[in-house]
Amino acid sequence: MDIDALLTSAAINTGLSVLLFSLYSILRKQPSNTIVYFGRRLASLNNRNSRNHFSFERFVPSPSWIVKAWETTENEILAIGGLDAVVFQRILVFSIRVFSIASVTCLFLVLPVNYYGQEMKHKHIHAESLNVFTIANVKEGSRWLWAHCLTLYIISCSACVLLYFEYKSITKMRLAHITTSPPNPSHFTILVRSIPYLVGESYSNSVKKFFTNYYASSYLSHQIVYRCGLVQKLMVDAEKICMKIKAAPKGQSSLKPCCLCGGSTSFKVLTDEPESVKDSFSYSNLNLATSDNERSAAFVIFKTRYAAVVATQMLQSPNPMSWVTELAPEPHDVLWSNLCIPFRQLWLRKIATLLASIVFMVLFLAPVTFVQGLTQLEKLSQTFPFLRGFLKQDLINHVLTGYLPSVILMLFLYTVPPTMMLFSSVEGPVSHSRRKRSACLKILYFTIWNVFFVNHVSGGFLFAFNMLSSVGDIPVELAKAIPNQASFFVTYVLTSGWASLSCEVMQPFSLLCNFLKKHLLRNHEDSSDGLVSFPYHTEVPRVLLFGLIGFTYSVMAPLILPFLLIYFLLAYLVYRNQIVNVYITKYEGGGQLWPIVHNTTIFSLVLTQMISLGVFGIKKSPVASGFTIPLIICTLLFNEYCRQRFSPIFKKDVAQVLLEMDRRDEQSGRMEEIHQQLHSAYCQLPLTSHEFCESVHKLCQDNIRGREGTKSGKEPSEVSEPCAVCNFGKEGSIGE
């Protein structure tokens, strides 16, 4: 690919990005799109944008959102999105810093060496091939390869220093988050799974006897896990219906059917007759908290944080597969459906999802190979001779080589996150954050393998098919393939990077759903039920993949660095805006993403150094090769130091910190109040079904009395709303 093709791709992506950013600055001002672009604020402030009047300013693009995102402080991000949001912002800040250093060093030191690496007659810049700007243009045995080695040292040392300070800072923030936040029920609670079954005794009694016997001084209470399914769904639906009844205006029914969803609920509006209310209730099947519904899992609550941690650090019985304990997730983070999975099934599920992930990665080789075929027009014209005349046109050539391959690969990659999230759900994690973290790792491994390695290998085979002849030559051939694939990854940064940020800020799916709801269904109410949390499982792998590409090509093809730096700067502003305005925080992950970031960055650095070592060997520069080996060793030693110094704090709780928190709460007299709050923290069903139906029955009786009062001369405004009853029995029991 030549510079003209690169400029064509850059122009297309720049134009699309400017257009979408301008369109976003207009759409965000429209009152009808408040729930799309200010969903988090709408949920927290419980108000709506009142600018319904027409104004010219609403239809003029403006950069005000960029200024507001830039002015948002880290403390505000911490208060809004939690520690995970701060960690994600630190990833972008780290990337901006390290690639700013790399851009200055490589563009002024490495790029001229690459360009004048061989004695040749250069064309005009716009007609030059991209290979002229890569290390492939440096002749063998050149004494100027020391510039590449020196740049590699500067980038590696800068990255390690910045990583160290970021790891240290985030570790302090994690400890401060634990000590300064309000009492967290998860610090007092453990999750017990694989509870042994005893004939004639419920799981609840078994848990109580076990912990009162062996943890008598520290055991407080427990909450057994009940079977999930239809009952759980009914309870959730009942809560939503009650909220709608409470929020409905006087004289209007809030039970509106959905035209598009087509889903049926177990709620029906009762008539005014008292007999219909009396006949609709059957309490025989309403008691959910029975021994038949109990599962072999429970949340056990202790009196102190330290006691809960101690209980998770040792085996509870001689059989390691019984009474398995771990620290409980936060109440809002619990994935209740997976708690019903038998503990002995988990290892089978993990093996099955691993095999499924491998099969999915193998099947994904087909679109990657197709994309690589588009980048090699000579091979494409040989395979399809009838396309030769069509492919010779300059515009078609530039679009096919500079834009279309990255777009096709990006479209295929959109299928990866939902697939990996499904695999992570099947594994059986007990919390939403753990499921997202598992999906994040799967997507990261998938993208690194299929986007980075497979693209290089397929490209290398197209240029050097004899790579298969000798397995020992694979490292050398891989070192040859890296510079040759620089053009594809430059366009990939433009397409998948810049365009993805434009789509992220536009929120096209939410915008379409909001348009259909308000203009087709005529529902103009802004509800926060459909708001989602930040998709860390998709965005963290994306940012880390660009970091890997940046480290690998910084020395090999430094022309990629300006485009990459622009991506990180835009991402910093876009994601800040999304955290502040769009996404809500449902649970706190405690900064557990940073070890993934650190390990991936170290992997990227070591891979870059090993590829550089291979390239220096191909270029016959023993001095550069010799100086690269100590750099690899020092990077691995640095990683081991960080693993010993900081990583344990993200895996285990600190006993000293927990003991100090327990003593502080006891001295202040707050411990008893905390204990009272803990009893209901992990209640799977906030109200038992009997209590719930009693409350609904009372509401219906009040409704009937109100309607009778209306018939006797009361005002209609004094009549209560029609009540909805949850049918826990058969579907046809109400109204028959």
Q: In which element (H, E) is residue 636 found? A: helix 622-645
| Residue 268 β-bridge partners | 725
| Residue 261: C-alpha distances to residues 239, 521, 685 (Å) | 19, 11, 26
Query: Is the Cβ–Cβ distance between 600 and 547 less than 8 Å?
Result: yes
Q: What one-character-per-residue DSSP string does 394-415 give?
A: HHHHHHHHHTHHHHHHHHHHTT
Q: What one-character-per-residue DSSP string does 109-154 give?
A: IIHHHHHTSS------GGGSBGGGGSGGGSPTT-TTHHHHHHHHHH
Report whether pLDDT(316) > 80.
yes
Q: How confident is the model at residue 40 (pLDDT cuts 50, 70, 90)?
A: confident
Give the residue-averaged pLDDT of 696-724. 42
Report whether pLDDT(100) > 90.
yes
Six-digit token string for 664: 């502080």
Report whether pLDDT(253) > 50.
no
- The region of weakest confidence among 4-8, 333-337, 607-611 is 4-8
**pLDDT per residue as tens digits for the range 593-639:** 999 999 999 999 999 999 888 888 888 888 888 999 999 999 999 99
* Predicted local confidence at residue 498, as pLDDT: 84
Residues of the chain with pLDDT > 70, as a percent, come to 71
Report whether pLDDT(461) > 80.
no
* Predicted local confidence at residue 160, as pLDDT: 96
**pLDDT per residue as tens digits for the range 112-137:** 888 887 766 666 665 677 778 888 88
* Predicted local confidence at residue 719, as pLDDT: 34
**pLDDT per residue as tens digits for the range 464-496:** 344 444 444 555 666 677 777 777 788 888 888
Tell me how far apart the alpha carbons of residues 398 and 2 are, in angstroms, rounded to a whole number.
8
- The region of weakest confidence among 84-98, 251-265, 538-552, 635-649 is 251-265
Six-digit token string for 538: 């998709």
* Predicted local confidence at residue 172, as pLDDT: 94
Report whether pLDDT(418) > 70.
yes
Report whether pLDDT(548) > 80.
yes
Report whether pLDDT(710) > 80.
no
Environment class of 698 (CB within 10 Å of its CB; exposed 0-12, middle 13-18, buried 19+)? exposed
Tell me how far apart the alpha carbons of residues 25 and 63 are, in angstroms, rounded to a whole number.
7
Q: In which element (H, E) is residue 294 found? A: strand 294-302
Q: How confident is the model at residue 27 (pLDDT cuts 50, 70, 90)?
A: confident
Q: How confident is the model at residue 687 (pLDDT cuts 50, 70, 90)?
A: very low
| Residue 269 β-bridge partners | 724
Amino acid at position 103, single letter: S
* Predicted local confidence at residue 516, as pLDDT: 85
Q: How confident is the model at residue 517 (pLDDT cuts 50, 70, 90)?
A: confident
* Predicted local confidence at residue 243, as pLDDT: 58
Q: How confident is the model at residue 693 (pLDDT cuts 50, 70, 90)?
A: very low
* Predicted local confidence at residue 571, as pLDDT: 94
- Please provide residue 193's backbone torsions phi and psi, each rounded to the nearest 5 degrees: -125, 165
246 versus 602: the higher-pLDDT residue is: 602
CB-side neighbour CA atoms (13 Å) of 369: 8
Tell me how far apart the alpha carbons of residues 277 and 727 are, in angstroms, rounded to a whole number.
12
CA angle 608, 609, 611 (to 5 degrees): 65
**pLDDT per residue as tens digits for the range 190-226:** 999 999 988 888 899 999 999 999 999 999 999 998 8
Amino acid at position 294, single letter: E
User: Model pTM?
Assistant: 0.80
Rounded to a whole number of angstroms, the distance between the first and last alpha carbons of the chain is: 73
* Predicted local confidence at residue 652, as pLDDT: 87
Q: How confident is the model at residue 273 (pLDDT cuts 50, 70, 90)?
A: very low
* Predicted local confidence at residue 309, as pLDDT: 93
Tell me how far apart the alpha carbons of residues 454 and 451 are, in angstroms, rounded to a whole number.
6
Q: How confident is the model at residue 451 (pLDDT cuts 50, 70, 90)?
A: confident
Give the mean pLDDT of the chain: 78
- The region of weakest confidence among 4-18, 43-57, 157-171, 683-697 is 683-697
Q: In which element (H, E) is residue 253 found? A: none
Tell me how far apart the alpha carbons of residues 633 and 599 are, in angstroms, rounded to a whole number.
16
**Domain ranges, ordered by start, for the chain:** 3-181+345-651, 185-344
Neighbours of 25 (CB within 10 A): 17
* Predicted local confidence at residue 734, as pLDDT: 31
Report whether pLDDT(554) > 60.
yes
